[in-house]
Amino acid sequence: MSAFIVFIIVTPLHLHPIGTTHTLNPAMSLFHPTSADAPHLDRLIPAAAMPGGEVEIHGTHLDPHTRYIPHATIGDTFAPVTLSRPSRAAVRIPEGSISGDLVLHRNGAASNPLHLRVAVPMAENLHPVANPAIDADGNVFATLSGSRGQTTPVSIFKIQRDFQITPFVRDLMNPTGLAFDPEGYLYASSRAEGTVYRISPEGAISTYAEGMGIATGIAFDRDGSLFVGDRSGTIFKINPSREIFVFATLEPSIAAYHLAFNDAGTLFVTGPTTSSNQAIHAIDRDGNTTVFYQGLGRAQGLAFDADDNLYVAASLHGQRGIVRITPEHKATLAISGHNLVGLAFLEDGCAALATRDALFHVDLGIEGRSLI
């Protein structure tokens, strides 16, 4: 009796149901080699965003080619695609997102991942109108400023490194600009009273300077002099002996002045206006004013990194967020987001971002310029 052995070779047609999305690179599968028209991502612009912001993807094969619109995922979170072109797509960052790999899904195929840094809530129910301030221990201080003339139950809050928030100062009307001196005292301007207050590490308040007009942004130079922006257009200088000088004069602002020094001792100033072609002013040690950069919308809070790049809360070409401007005057959007009024760099490359009613925390991998 003859015996026959029959070999049956089964070729798998699909390892995933049609339309199933996954974050693995299709090229990693032996059964699913990358198709010629699979999406490929080259870069994200910008590489960081707030919830509600948008980032642009640049790459190839990003358009749908069918009636089904592509979508993206950030980690396990669905993110809608608001624009789809062959080499460019726009993705909106949904609420609740965290930092993770962004992947574009198109016609059942998934792209390679690109890492996106997403800001997460740090403290809510605030009212910052300028940059938060950071003490030597890494604690963040932010205002509940209120409308002009309004008294709030707490004027300034302290947010610890573990995001625990506690009241720090009460009974200070309309705190606006914040800055620390090397001794650990916090200074706060009041735009309602035209006064700058000095606040001890325990929260005790004393008057430091009066007669500052509508006092808004403040900043210390390396010599210990405090500079104060008056919304009517004057930049005051208060030396360590508390003598007050008019340092420079600019056009009036509709809201506030925001101040920051670079390492060379040049003072950079913004003052929001209704113009979409607003300038950042640079004022040298002798009070001479020049335009450092022009072309922003409603520029507000300023901060420098350790490489002398300037970061400003503003609109650039209609896109709102944090704009990075190099010493060579090249501007790019560094963080996409709405309602931003300022920022401050933290330790370990992180930053605190201030919106009109909250603080957000984001890891940017950027070392900030020391302010203390």
- The DSSP bridge pattern shows strands 319-325 and 331-336 to be antiparallel
pLDDT at 44: 97
Angle at 306 between CA 300 and CA 308, to 5 degrees: 60
Q: Mean pLDDT score of the chain, rounded to an integer?
A: 89
- Nearest Cα to Cα of residue 334 among 101, 49, 90: 49
Binning the chain into helix, strand and coil, the percentages to the nearest 5 are 0, 50, 50
pLDDT in tens, 337-371: 999 999 999 988 999 999 999 999 999 999 999 88
Q: To which residue do tokens 């009024």 refer?
A: 341
Q: How far apart are CA 110 and CA 1, in angstroms?
A: 55
Structure confidence at residue 66 as a pLDDT band (50, 70, 90): low
Count of positions (residues) in the chain? 372
- Nearest Cα to Cα of residue 227 among 324, 371, 354: 371
pLDDT at 253: 84
pLDDT in tens, 140-172: 999 999 998 898 999 999 999 999 999 999 999
Residue spans of the domains in the chain: they are: 26-118, 121-363
What are residue 183's phi and psi, to 5 degrees?
-85, 0
pLDDT in tens, 4-49: 444 333 333 333 332 333 333 433 333 334 566 789 999 999 999 9
| Domain 121-363 class, CATH top level | mainly beta
In this prediction, residues 295-323 reach a mean pLDDT of 96
Question: Tokens for 256?
Answer: 């506030």
pLDDT at 28: 36
Please state, in angstroms and as integers, the Cα–Cα distance from residue 270 to each residue in 121, 190, 274, 293, 339, following that order.
26, 18, 13, 10, 16
Of the two residues 32 and 81, the one the predictor is more confident about is: 81
pLDDT at 107: 85
Amino acid at site 139: N
DSSP secondary structure string for all residues of 85-117: -SSEEEEE--TT--SEEEEEEETTEE---EEEE
Q: How far apart are CA 80 and CA 70, in angstroms?
A: 8
Question: Tokens for 3?
Answer: 């015996």
Structure confidence at residue 214 as a pLDDT band (50, 70, 90): very high
- The topology under which CATH files domain 26-118 is Immunoglobulin-like (2.60.40)
pLDDT at 35: 63
Q: pTM higher than 0.85, yes or no?
A: yes
Q: How far apart are CA 118 and CA 110, in angstroms?
A: 21
Contacts of 173 (CB under 8 A, 6+ apart): 146, 149, 150, 151, 155, 190, 192, 193
In this prediction, residues 95-123 reach a mean pLDDT of 96
* 157: enclosing H helix or E strand: strand 156-159
